[in-house]
Amino acid sequence: MSLPGSPTLRSEALGRRGESVIVITSLALAGALPWLIPAPAAESVAVVASGACMAVLAWALRALGWLGGAASVRRAVWAADGSWRLECADGTWIDGALTDATRVLPPVVFLAFATARGRRYLFLTGSRRSATFRRLIARLMLEHHESRTAAARLPGVA
């Protein structure tokens, strides 16, 4: 659902600097974690554990679409009627619905979508000077408020 008269918003994720920072930091921490555990284990065990931690994290981040792959979302379009269209890394467009896992923490927006192909995620960072980014944040916050207000009016919903 969208507010009447809301313009179509296009969110580009071409730079993805925020996702890159999260990926690099997470991989570095995963690699360092086994070395921080005080144990009389040999260095070879710590090396293997570091590699395993980094491999598992890399697999999870690739599944999220943050390390490329088909799950990666390049662009999200929020139409005036409230529907979402997502452009995947392979150039195909799919329909998506925003989930409750979406978070708005200006100047960061984490969009979580449910699609026919599974979950898709988009992490956006933007300048507060960007009119489109400010509109996206404002519209997401209004939508959240509207949905909470509507739910409060339903009988049996706290």
Q: What is the pLDDT of residue 146?
A: 66
Beta strands, E only, the chain: 9-12, 73-78, 84-88, 93-98, 103-105, 108-115, 118-125
What would the mean pLDDT of 112-139 be, rounded to a whole number? 79
What pairs with residue 3 in β-bridges?
none
Token pair, residue 89, equals: 């890394």
- Write the pLDDT tens digit of every residue in 94-124: 999 988 888 888 777 888 888 888 888 777 7
Q: CB–CB of 124/113 below 8 Å?
A: no
Tell me the whole-structure pTM to 2 decimals.
0.66
